[in-house]
A and B are shown apart, each in its own frame.
Chain A
Amino acid sequence: MSKAMRDLVEVHPFMTSMNEESIELVSGCARNAVFAPGSLLCAEGGDADTFYLLRRGQVSISVHIPGRGSVVIETVGAGDVVGWSWLVPPYRWTFDARAMDDVGCIAIDGACLRVKALTDPSLGFALLSKVSVTLLERLQATRMRLLDLYGDHRVQ
């Protein structure tokens, strides 16, 4: 792992307030990645062994519905993380994640990180803590959208 990679990992919002050791361990499983517009970062049903710290560009989270095509559920961008299923069994992606434009990111080997987390509980805890924060935000936002605030809610 190069110092350049470590520097890139350290400044990503996902890594803020993680300790030196955790940053080292994560950086050791990291590599640079780019995705051309339209290419898939995650494919529904695939093995979820990688997750991505987005540095540049927009990514759509979508699900393919026969008759409706690929329906975009959410878009995420620089500073976000794509791919959570690497942390939770059965380690399989539930949605497609597709680059909407030129996407630059740090790809992290989730399988490798899982092994390290088993032997280093503090790393495991740090990762779960960060993941929980984002999952909570996403859940809250999703619940808000369920309210259909812009809809017409008159009792018929």
Chain B
Amino acid sequence: MGPTLRDGAIVPGPVNSSKDLPRGVHDLQSPGSYRVMREDDGEIFGWAVGPGSWKNEYFPPSQVMWRSEIVGDTLVFRQPDRSHALLAIVGARPCDVAALRILDHVLEEGVHRDSRYSERRDSNFIAVVECASPADTCFCASMKSGPGIDEDFDVALTELNDELGHRFIARIGSPRGADVLSSVSTRPANELDLEARALLLETASRAMSRSLPFDEVANLLARNVEHPRWLDVAERCLSCGNCTSVCPTCFCSDVHDTTDTSGAIERRRTWSSCFDLEHSYLHGGSVHESSSSRYRQWMTHKLSTWWDQFDSTGCVGCGRCIVWCPVGIDITEEVAAIAAHDQARVAVPSRPGAS
């Protein structure tokens, strides 16, 4: 699988050859806006990210956990079919890989291990492509998840298209990566190639105008729970949940049972969103009744309490939430607004904000 152009957006899809990849496609992204354009430059990865992320392949939007039925006088549990095709992804982004790393903490290191998630993670092949053309909405550099990447891949590619030609630098990250590359025609990278890569990453980093204060944001939000900005953003937020749909690390889900008249039961786990009113249902009502309460929950979880719960940040700086918000709410702008009038009202024990 890899990035494919479909319905005017770059989304994950089946890829059988390089012809299926979005050659010559570039994207233009800003708050609440996403466009693709075609150029004749032959670049395959001259775009940033699209709305979909690779989360779907490992943690499907709807998944049967188990089924049961009554056979005669016996209650029988049946596990769903666990077989799955081996997955190879060509064209994941460093922020996508960072997001999967974050989901690993949530789904593999809890009380139970999501074994189907693990099986897919253990058996996949990832060829990640470093970013040359970040969008205006990208801020992975400040979240330490891009535009380059140095671990957790089988092969890492960097696309170079300059006076020395159109070529890819490939770095090997695993024995399987080495194996796959051995069947591709390569030459050793030289000084110029490596310098070109360094320059590309440097340029990409500096091109990102947006950022978050990685070391401070967790504590900043923790001490500003009563900041007036939460009411301000609530005037704009529709609680539509688009941000949670496109976010590569959001994992909230509902667990529910359905049954039929024969007594057969199916338990499913289905993606949900903290912007749903029912998400925080308790004793006849919702704890997070207002949209300001829900927005605050989402943002403080993603950037602050995720550290307490999973010992890492929840955000990779992909900017999808900014692009796909219908009213263009920008998480980096909201943080800056809070920081500009830091209320520092609540004295909290200092939390880990950096590694």
Contact = CB atoms under 8 A, between A and B. Distances in A.
**Do chains A and B make direct contact within the complex (CB under 8 angstroms)?**
yes
Interface of A: 152-155
Measured as residues with beta carbon below 8 angstroms from the partner, the interface class of chain B is under 10
A117 to B, nearest CB: 43
Contacts of A152: 284
B72 interface: no
A153 B285 CA distance: 8
B283 interface: yes
Interface secondary structure of A, over-half rule: loop
Contacts of B284: 152-155
Interface of B: 283-285
A70 B345 CA distance: 50
A155 B285 CA distance: 8
A152 B283 CA distance: 8
A154 to B, nearest CB: 3
Contacts of A155: 284-285
8 contacts: A152-B284, A153-B283, A153-B284, A153-B285, A154-B283, A154-B284, A155-B284, A155-B285
Nearest to B283: A153
A154 B283 CA distance: 6
A108 B284 CA distance: 49
Nearest to A155: B284
A155 B283 CA distance: 10
Contacts of A154: 283-284
Nearest to B284: A154
A148 to B, nearest CB: 12
Contacts of B283: 153-154
Contacts of B285: 153, 155
A34 to B, nearest CB: 47
B152 to A, nearest CB: 47
B336 to A, nearest CB: 39
A154 B281 CA distance: 11
A54 B156 CA distance: 82
